[in-house]
C-alpha cells in the first residue's frame, strides 16, 4: 500500500469514528440518484462505503463537467461545492451507493467542543479536500489533451503503485473530468497507443 492509499484509509477510519459520535445515518442511493445539490439549505458530509459518485456542475448553457469523483472509502459532501454558486452543482450516484451521512455543522461542533480529541481527524479531512482540488487543477492546467491524459493517468498510477491502471470512470466521463471534447480525446488516445506512450484497451491503461 502506498502513502496516498494509506493516508486515505486513515482518513476514512477517523471519519467513521467521528460519524459514530454524531449518530450518522446510513443512506442507500440507486444509480443516477442525486445525493445532494447546491440548492439544499443544510450542508452534509459523509463517508462513501460502497459505490462511485460524481461531483458535477451544469453551466448556463447546459454543459456538464465532472469536478471530482469519489470511490468507496472516500469522503463526500456539500462542503465540496464552490462557495459562490455560479452554476448548478450536485453530487450524483454513478453506481448504487451506500453513504454514512451527517450534518457538517454537527461534525464541526464536535471538534469545537472537544478540540484535543477531534482536531486531528478534522484537519486530515480538510487536507484531503485540498489535495483533491489541487490534483484536478493540475490536470486541467495542462495545455494539451495528451498532457491532461498523461497527468491524470500518472496520478492514478502513483496512487495505485503500478503503471497498469484501471480507470474508475468510463472514457466518456474522463473527457468531462479533464474538460475536453470526447472525439478529440479518443483520437489522442489512439495516437498515444501508436506512439508507444500507453497501451490501452477500454478503461485498462498501461503506461509504457
Which tens digit of pLDDT belongs to each residue from 22-78?
A: 778 899 999 999 998 877 766 788 889 899 999 998 888 888 889 999 998 888 877
Residue 28 makes CB contacts below 8 A (sequence gap 6+) with 96, 97, 98
| Class of the domain covering 144-207 | mainly alpha
CB 89 within 8 A of CB 38: yes
Question: What is residue 13's predicted lDDT score, i.e. its pLDDT?
Answer: 64
For CATH 2.60.120.10, list the domain ranges present in the chain.
Answer: 3-138
Higher-confidence position of 131 and 67: 67
Selection from 177, 206, 172 nearest residue 192 by Cα: 206
For CATH 1.10.10.10, list the domain ranges present in the chain.
Answer: 144-207
Work out the average pLDDT over 72-96.
Answer: 82
Q: Does residue 86 carry a pLDDT above 50?
A: yes
CA distance 136 to 133: 5
Work out the average pLDDT over 138-142.
Answer: 96
Buried b (16+ CB within 10 A) or exposed e, 115-142: eeebeebbebbeebbeebeeebeebbee
Work out the average pLDDT over 105-109.
Answer: 79
Grid coordinates representing 120?
A: 486531528
Question: What is residue 12's predicted lDDT score, i.e. its pLDDT?
Answer: 60
Q: Does residue 138 carry a pLDDT above 60?
A: yes
Higher-confidence position of 37 and 180: 180
Q: Does residue 8 carry a pLDDT above 50?
A: yes
Higher-confidence position of 87 and 175: 175
Segment of 33-47, 128-142, 147-161 carrying the highest mean pLDDT:
147-161
Which superfamily is assigned to 3-138 in CATH?
Jelly Rolls (2.60.120.10)
Amino acid at each position: 500500500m502506498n502513502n496516498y492509499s494509506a493516508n486515505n484509509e486513515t482518513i476514512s477510519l477517523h471519519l467513521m469514528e467521528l460519524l459514530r459520535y454524531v449518530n450518522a445515518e446510513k443512506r442507500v442511493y440507486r444509480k443516477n440518484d442525486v445525493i445532494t445539490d447546491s440548492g439544499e439549505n443544510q450542508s452534509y458530509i459523509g463517508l462513501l462505503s460502497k459505490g462511485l459518485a460524481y461531483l458535477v456542475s451544469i453551466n448556463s448553457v447546459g454543459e456538464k463537467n465532472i469536478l471530482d469523483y469519489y470511490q468507496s472509502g472516500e469522503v463526500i459532501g456539500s462542503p465540496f461545492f464552490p462557495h459562490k454558486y455560479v452554476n448548478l452543482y450536485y453530487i450524483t450516484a454513478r453506481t448504487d451507493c451506500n453513504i454514512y451521512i451527517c450534518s457538517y455543522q454537527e461534525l464541526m461542533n464536535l471538534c469545537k467542543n472537544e478540540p484535543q480529541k477531534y482536531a486531528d481527524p478534522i484537519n486530515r479531512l480538510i487536507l484531503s479536500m485540498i489535495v483533491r482540488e489541487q490534483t484536478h487543477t493540475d490536470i486541467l492546467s495542462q495545455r494539451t489533451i495528451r498532457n491532461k491524459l498523461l497527468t491524470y493517468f500518472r496520478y492514478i498510477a502513483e496512487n495505485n503503485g503500478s503503471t497498469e491502471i484501471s480507470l474508475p470512470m468510463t472514457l466518456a466521463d474522463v473527457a468531462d473530468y479533464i474538460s475536453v471534447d470526447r472525439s478529440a480525446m479518443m483520437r489522442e488516445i489512439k495516437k498515444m497507443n501508436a506512439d508507444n506512450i500507453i497501451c490501452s484497451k477500454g478503461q485498462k491503461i498501461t503506461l509504457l
